[in-house]
Structure 1
Amino acid sequence: MTDQRQQDSLSSDPPWLIYGLGRSGRGVARFLHGEGLAAEWLDANPGAEDQALMQELGFQPGSLDRRYQTVVAAPGVPIDHPDLLALQSSGAEIIGEVALAARQRPGVTLVGVTGTAGKGGTTTLTAQLLRAAGVNALEGGNIDPPLLDVIDRCEVAVVELSSFQLERIAGTRFPVAIITNLGIDHLDRHGSVENYHAAKLHIADGQQPGDVLLLPPAMQLQGEHLRGLLALPQARHFDPARLALSDGTPLLDPAELPSGIHPANAAAAVLATEAALLVLGREVPDLAGRLTQALRQARPLGGRFEEVGRWRGVQFIEDSIATRTLAVQSALEHARPPIVWVVGGRDKGAELAPLRETAQGRVRQVVAFGEDGPRFAAELGLPSDIITAQDGMAAMQAAVAQAMTHLPEGRGTVLLAPIGTSFDLYRNYQERGAAFRQAVQEWTAAQPAPGDRP
């Protein structure tokens, strides 16, 4: 709860407006209620859970005819939504949950992580390394839980940031910021690659002298006006081929990382952890030893290139969230060949040409399912099988069984890196990943034990 001076400065007359409920809006509502602030809400299609929470908190529906001082908009609402433009023209400031958290909890150090691919894995790994160094660190933001659900329980919040969230951070300071990579995504929202990259680069807007911005060794930016980022004095590059502290102290060979931990994510997380410790003014005895041990024990984020089963020498890798070209390309590069690649879902505009190149010599067969799976298979130009089942679980069971017919020698990888979104047959990528896991478990359980006769 804020003190009285903060409470007075956060006028509840006019009330705050929560625009867009769902996961983010519920977090905002709980936080504002905990601060003792009055709020109203607007949502074009509120779910039953949302309405029940608003009623429980005593928050009433708002109106576009009412004047608000601050509107906290959900990330999924476009920045140029007519309602938001109307509210803004009437004098309201439009912010997001990240800016709200930063303003209300200035004592919490924020480590920001964004990128086209790898931001979730880097976020969770950075938090794990900070905890190993003795820091009370928690992850949140674009991944579960929302930032506002953890901000009061940590001294450092490691925040995964989508381009949507970064449109509304209003100069929020991230003393340590990471851009994992930049590719092409969300053109339906941003309109162009230049606009998408510009949204991502807002992560550095609030940085001050002495802050750290971590970038991949070779990052190409669309638009000449964005190239100045690479010349910022706080910009440093992480090296995926070398896990070491900033002074060169080695940690471990990237090949020793646990399955599902990407070397680039690990390299960025190590330097971010070291930078955050400097921000906190904290010296950690044998930091290299602690981080090495933590990296060996690191846990991958579920749904991100995670081994979910094994049969003889075949690995089953679930990367259900891999719908961006960079993420799929990374999965193909790190899976052990020969690969049977399971693709499908609803097309979101991923570039397939780079994937064709990466797959050459590594992918033995494509198994395609779902709405746009057959088209993916055709455009990839690789040997393929088409699964026609229209039930999500049945489609995944058939895909796993068919994939295994192409690995009779009992070695290689069945890789779910689907390219398309999950919304054709599943509620979300987590449900799609869970279906893959279940299908793998069922298939392996049905195989005869070694030595059994068929």
Structure 2
Amino acid sequence: MKNFPTSLLGQRVLVLGGGVSGKAALRLLKERQAIPVLCNSEPISDSSVEYVREDIPLSDLLPLSLIVKSPGISPTHSILVQAEALAIPIVSEVELARAFYSGRLIGVTGTDGKSTTTSLTCHLASNDFPGATAGGNIGLAFSDFCLKPIPLTVLELSSYQLEDSGPLELNVSVILNLASDHLERHKSLDNYFAAKARIVDSRNPKHTLVTSSKLFKERIQRFDWRCSILTFGREEGNDAQILDEHQSIQTNKAKYNVSSFPLPGGHNLENLAASILAAEAIGAKSENIQKLIGTFQGLPHRFQNAGKAAGISFINDSKSTNLHSMLAGLSTWRDKKGTFLILGGRPKAEPLEPLKEFLSSGIGWVLLIGEAREKWASEISPILGSHLILAENLEEGFSQIKTAVRSGRARVSSVVFSPACASFDLYKNFEERGDHFLRLVGAWAKEEP
């Protein structure tokens, strides 16, 4: 692979960043008998790894054959600037692992739906590729299993991971969608898309890209890419056409009955269409895909059925960390007037017009929590009036929802927790946030006779 040493045996390799992917890279390097050096803000518990601080001059560490950059590290980090000047190759953890993996490989990216589509694609291909494994930005880091004899790997790949990677030589790539996100890193939507597009082996006719018809029309068709491109959508002419009224998805190979697909929302049918195309492209048989459509369990915190309390259904979509994700999930929500939507957290730099337009379509009630109260309340209050409730945190918000329901002021059939914001104002991550929501639902259910 580009800029990659032919052997790491006895070579000193610097790993920049000691998070999940950095630690996985260290383990892989030791397995390949390299000499890993960790550069991080603080040491880790592994005493067998040499540790250096981030402010060390890179010249003090020479010779170095390679630098493995963790995705959370800024591209302008001083170590990377010095490495460029010294012509030391820089790779991502994913690129490092790719050099040692011999199975077939699918990569999935996009603003929203990556985790679901990654897991779903792996699931749909599992009968044809026993032992197929999902990883990357979901579950295990690629470096933790790239040496195993796994026939198929499906990787979730973030823009940060792709930005750091050279050609990954995937068999199939998936770009689901594109919306404003991570612009604090990428600065513009064009730069963000350019990072996502690095997933595509665009000059390889044997490579297959799966993408939405919308993204193809708006961005991809202008490029002279030589790979095969398959699109999904609801319009005729797509390689996977979603037929909502017939509860089916028609591809060039088969018509799939999706009535048993357990995930709600039109956006999840788009994820399914993408997964079907990717599974077909990698060689999964249509009859096996059909058998597995109804058995997918979904993922925690992604439109997860959180149970019932007081006759109300609760949905946990804590993974919704931007407006695009929330709007995609609720765009086809049928009982909007009977829905109590919980929004809030730390807002991202996104225009609010799409949110205001959605709320104007007739959502029942909204609870707004966290830092979003200060930034959004004045914008959406004229739309919702007394049907907007403000709370400092989720626990206080639940108390207010209970009061509104028990008094008869709010007649709702479902409570949907789809924050459309980052979680970092109140929680470590969206998982902790979603777990808190689940506990509050469980506690309410125990209060009911």
For the aligned pair, the TM-score class normalised by the smaller chain equals 0.7 to 0.9
SS at 2:289 equivalent: helix
Find the counterpart in structure 2 of residue 419 from structure 1: 420
**Structure 1 residue 12: Cα displacement:** 3.1
CA contact (8 A) 1:178 1:272 kept: yes
- Bigger mean CA deviation after superposition, 355-364 or 84-93: 355-364
* Aligned ranges 1:331-342 → 2 under 5 Å: 331-337=329-335, 338-342=338-342
**Partners of 1:36 and 1:358 in 2: how far apart?**
55
**Structure 1 residue 39: Cα displacement:** 0.7
**Partners of 1:228 and 1:135 in 2: how far apart?**
38
Find the counterpart in structure 1 of residue 167 from structure 2: 171
Find the counterpart in structure 1 of residue 256 from structure 2: 251
RMSD of aligned residue pairs (Cα, Å): 2.6
**Partners of 1:51 and 1:247 in 2: how far apart?**
51
**Partners of 2:10 and 2:141 in 1: how far apart?**
23
**Amino acid across the alignment from 1:118:** G
Counterpart among 25, 45, 49 of residue 52 in structure 1: 45
- Bigger mean CA deviation after superposition, 349-358 or 262-271: 349-358
SS at 1:159 equivalent: strand
**Partners of 1:32 and 1:202 in 2: how far apart?**
25
Whether 1:268 and 2:274 are equivalent positions in the alignment is yes
Find the counterpart in structure 1 of residue 192 from structure 2: 196
**Structure 1 residue 84: Cα displacement:** 0.7
CA contact (8 A) 2:404 2:410 kept: no
CA contact (8 A) 2:367 2:397 kept: no
**Amino acid across the alignment from 1:308:** A
CA contact (8 A) 1:369 1:399 kept: no
Find the counterpart in structure 1 of residue 239 from structure 2: none
Residues 171-197 of structure 1 show CA distances to partners (whole Å, capped at 9, x for unaligned) of: 111110000101111110011111111
CA contact (8 A) 1:245 1:274 kept: no
Distance 1:306 1:230, change over 3 A: farther
**Amino acid across the alignment from 2:171:** P
Find the counterpart in structure 2 of residue 34 from structure 1: 31
**Amino acid across the alignment from 1:258:** P
Residues 72-106 of structure 1 show CA distances to partners (whole Å, capped at 9, x for unaligned) of: 1110112232321112211211110111111122x
Counterpart among 132, 140, 157 of residue 137 in structure 1: 132
* Aligned ranges 1:205-284 → 2 under 5 Å: 205=201, 208-219=204-215, 227-229=221-223, 232-239=226-233, 241-242=242-243, 243-244=248-249, 246-253=251-258, 255-260=259-264, 262-277=268-283
SS at 2:441 equivalent: helix
SS at 2:371 equivalent: coil
**Partners of 1:203 and 1:43 in 2: how far apart?**
27
- Bigger mean CA deviation after superposition, 200-209 or 316-325: 200-209
**Amino acid across the alignment from 1:184:** S
**Partners of 1:407 and 1:413 in 2: how far apart?**
15
SS at 1:31 equivalent: helix
CA contact (8 A) 1:347 1:372 kept: yes
Find the counterpart in structure 2 of residue 387 from structure 1: 391
Find the counterpart in structure 2 of residue 18 from structure 1: 15
**Amino acid across the alignment from 2:369:** F
SS at 1:341 equivalent: strand
SS at 1:16 equivalent: strand
SS at 2:210 equivalent: strand
Find the counterpart in structure 2 of residue 368 from structure 1: 368
Residues 121-170 of structure 1 show CA distances to partners (whole Å, capped at 9, x for unaligned) of: 10010111111334321111111221112323422110101110011221
* Aligned ranges 1:113-128 → 2 under 5 Å: 113-128=108-123
Distance 1:157 1:18, change over 3 A: same
* Aligned ranges 1:66-81 → 2 under 5 Å: 66-67=61-62, 68-81=64-77
**Structure 1 residue 233: Cα displacement:** 4.5
**Structure 1 residue 115: Cα displacement:** 0.2
Counterpart among 112, 122, 139 of residue 107 in structure 2: 112
Find the counterpart in structure 2 of residue 307 from structure 1: 305
Whether 1:343 and 2:349 are equivalent positions in the alignment is no
How many positions carry a matched residue from both structures?
Answer: 421
**Structure 1 residue 431: Cα displacement:** 0.3
Distance 1:123 1:327, change over 3 A: same
Distance 1:193 1:171, change over 3 A: same
SS at 2:356 equivalent: helix
**Structure 1 residue 329: Cα displacement:** 0.5
CA contact (8 A) 2:14 2:66 kept: yes
**Amino acid across the alignment from 2:388:** S
**Partners of 2:96 and 2:135 in 1: how far apart?**
14
Instruction: State the TM-score, normalized to the length of structure 1.
Output: 0.85
**Amino acid across the alignment from 1:424:** D
Whether 1:328 and 2:319 are equivalent positions in the alignment is no
Instruction: State the TM-score, normalized to the length of structure 2.
Output: 0.86
CA contact (8 A) 1:323 1:350 kept: no
**Structure 1 residue 215: Cα displacement:** 0.8
**Partners of 2:116 and 2:223 in 1: how far apart?**
24
Please list every run of 5 or more consecutive structure 1 residues that lacks an aligned counterpart in the other structure: 1-5, 278-283, 449-454
Residues 2-37 of structure 1 show CA distances to partners (whole Å, capped at 9, x for unaligned) of: xxxx99722534x00000111111111111112221
Distance 1:230 1:342, change over 3 A: farther
**Structure 1 residue 237: Cα displacement:** 0.2
**Partners of 2:274 and 2:404 in 1: how far apart?**
34
**Partners of 2:407 and 2:363 in 1: how far apart?**
11
SS at 2:435 equivalent: helix
Residues 244-269 of structure 1 show CA distances to partners (whole Å, capped at 9, x for unaligned) of: 4643411113x542035710111111
**Partners of 1:137 and 1:116 in 2: how far apart?**
24
